[in-house]
Structure 1
Amino acid sequence: MVRLRGVWEFVTASAGKAHITGCLAVTLLTAGCQLRAEEAQTPAKKLVSTAAALTSAALPAGAAPVPDSLRLTPVPALAAVPDTLRQAIEQLHAALGPAAATLRPEVLEQACVGYLTLHPTGRIERAGLLAVADMDLPNTAERLWVIDLQEAKVLHRSLVAHGEGSGHLRARRFSNQESSACTSLGFYRTAGTYDGIHGYSRRIEGLDKNQNANAFDRYVVLHAADYVSPQYVRQYGHLGYSRGCPALPPEQFKAIIATLRVGSMLLVSGPGLASRWLDGPAAGRRFLQRGWR
């Protein structure tokens, strides 16, 4: 309650009654994932400094040290991934080049294993393509990648927002609950597009029963948001927040949504990810049969 009172006093003082009325109207009238009213901002200079330190945590050894409390959460190694597949994933990561420098190999392995396990089931129809978001990275980092597996090429790399219920610079809490305003971890299938309160958007279906199965009903979708931009980061030191949607930069969202057409796979990774699709042996068998096709 103390924090909420502080937020209210700040917004009232800085924005005025007209702004408050507008923000409340948007909040009350929109459903699903929506643009939230901005909460009180820490001084931008301090936040930019903190964001820079957090971003450095995603860099290889030799980068500037950060406090232990800000270090990225280690990603557990997947069990029983065959050496042949593990080596192929390592080669893929190397071939992706500088565009994937901050894509952690362990997270890429999660995405590849999930793709290879899901595709034969028919839940993912789009072959040779995957998208992965590492929500453990700070939201000031470009932490979404769309990858062409057969060409070993990063097609898109961008900023992506997490839900306001998940945390500030980094997402630390994840939920599948309707009113949580949190990001949900797990594997998703992209569905159809529509024009909604955020304009052109693409729906996504959660494929992990205990982690993201409510995403479709929650209207967790891919959409553009003006709070997902380098300009916003420069002003506030962090991105704004969605109601759980992986919101995208206005300059990139159309191209990303177009690439991730119906039946593509998206992995939203983060601490606590658990999925039946992280099946190393099944992925290994599929890779031996058909490679990335």
Structure 2
Amino acid sequence: MEKHTVVHRLRLKVRARRAMRRALPFVASLFLATPLASPVSSSQARPHSVTARMPSVKQFEAVAFQDGVRQLYNELNVADSGLRYEVFQKAYTGFLNLKAKGQLDASRSMLTVIDFEKPSTEKRLWVLDLSGKQVLFHTLVAHGHNSGENVATNFSNENESNMSSLGFYVTKGDYYGKHGRSLKLEGVDEGYNDRALERSVVMHGAEYVSEEFIKQYGRLGRSLGCPSLPMDQYAQVIDTVQDGTCLFLNGPDQNYDSEFLNTDMAAHQFSAEANGSNV
């Protein structure tokens, strides 16, 4: 595990350095093209002088981060399976910010993405190994009963709403309840999903999440707000993502906002990891 982490950091360093080299001419040209007027005295007018201003560390980090996100997205090769770049970018931004705040297991680079802008008849859950650049799972997932029929359009953080909740989650431990083995999910977006534990919104298996159900009813069955998984995969998914990994649940809600979508903070975390330092 330690050797794997060192290799991952070296890869991040190389990626960040390449991004810096690509970004330098572009960013520097923007600042060189910005003139600063020299003061004009009352006795004579002096021509404007152009002062070169180098980009700040923050600006370098921002450009390197954007380049790094795009490169990681391409290396994971998830476009063909339907994971859109803008959704991945949000999920990865939150992953880095949660990591920076110490809310994730720092020894793992696991990211789960659910895109409820897609219909339930499509595979819309991805479990990504960011270090290994692998898609570990790509499967069906159900949304809440009152969130919509085939497509989820309504979301809630309220008890007994029977709706899904958008936002970032941190996986906790598993337990055995009325749905069998289930995985606790801690919602970390205040006002959007922070009642998930209270509502018993968990990851579990369900018979109504299958291709056979889709063929019979034209959509998946629906949960009481839980991201329910196929019976033949849920246990393996729980084994993979439990205990301190990031889950991002995306949906068509223009009002959704999150502190974990702060790109400046994510860019700084990305740069720190690329340089092998702690934030």
Same fold (TM over 0.5): yes
The 1:153–1:218 alpha-carbon spacing in structure 2 relative to 1, beyond 3 Å, is: same
3-state DSSP of counterpart to 1:216: helix
Shift of residue 152 of structure 1? Answer: 1.2
Could you tell which deviates more after superposition, 149-158 or 220-229? Answer: 149-158
1:157 aligns with 2:157: no
Answer yes or no: is the 8 Å Cα contact 2:175–2:182 preserved in 1: yes
Partner amino acid, structure 1, of 2:260: W
**Residue in structure 1 matching 2:127, options 146, 150, 161:** 146
Q: After TM superposition, list the pairs within 5 Å mapping 1:12-161 onto structure 2.
A: 82-97=62-77, 101-126=81-106, 127-161=108-142
Partner amino acid, structure 2, of 1:278: L
Percent of paired sites with the same residue: 40
1:278 is matched with: 261
The two structures have a TM-score, normalised by structure 2, of: 0.74
Shift of residue 99 of structure 1? Answer: 7.3
Shift of residue 274 of structure 1? Answer: 1.3
The whole-number CA distance in structure 1 between the counterparts of 2:228 and 2:275 is 28
1:206 aligns with 2:182: no
3-state DSSP of counterpart to 2:168: strand
3-state DSSP of counterpart to 1:142: coil
Partner amino acid, structure 2, of 1:135: F
**Residue in structure 2 matching 1:258, options 229, 235, 239:** 239
Answer yes or no: is the 8 Å Cα contact 1:128–1:292 preserved in 2: no
Answer yes or no: is the 8 Å Cα contact 2:79–2:85 preserved in 1: no
1:187 aligns with 2:157: no
Shift of residue 98 of structure 1? Answer: 5.3
1:74 is matched with: none
Structure 2 residues not aligned, in runs of 5+: 1-58
Structure 1 residues not aligned, in runs of 5+: 1-79
Deviations 1:201-222 (A, max 9, x none): 1110000011001100100000
Deviations 1:161-198 (A, max 9, x none): 00011001110000000011000001001111111111
3-state DSSP of counterpart to 1:139: coil
Deviations 1:86-126 (A, max 9, x none): 22121122222257530010000001000111102111125
3-state DSSP of counterpart to 2:175: strand
The 1:208–1:225 alpha-carbon spacing in structure 2 relative to 1, beyond 3 Å, is: same
Shift of residue 292 of structure 1? Answer: 11
3-state DSSP of counterpart to 1:263: coil
The aligned length equals 214
1:21 is matched with: none
1:242 aligns with 2:228: no
**Residue in structure 2 matching 1:289, options 248, 263, 272:** 272
2:205 is matched with: 224
Shift of residue 151 of structure 1? Answer: 1.4
The whole-number CA distance in structure 2 between the counterparts of 1:269 and 1:292 is 30
After TM superposition, what 4+ stretches of structure 1 lie above 6 angstroms from structure 2?
none
The whole-number CA distance in structure 2 between the counterparts of 1:151 and 1:276 is 27
The 1:157–1:291 alpha-carbon spacing in structure 2 relative to 1, beyond 3 Å, is: farther
Q: CA RMSD in A?
A: 1.7
The 1:292–1:213 alpha-carbon spacing in structure 2 relative to 1, beyond 3 Å, is: farther
Answer yes or no: is the 8 Å Cα contact 1:150–1:292 preserved in 2: no
Answer yes or no: is the 8 Å Cα contact 1:100–1:154 preserved in 2: no
The whole-number CA distance in structure 2 between the counterparts of 1:150 and 1:177 is 36
**Residue in structure 2 matching 1:269, options 247, 250, 264:** 250
The 1:112–1:279 alpha-carbon spacing in structure 2 relative to 1, beyond 3 Å, is: same
Answer yes or no: is the 8 Å Cα contact 1:222–1:248 preserved in 2: yes
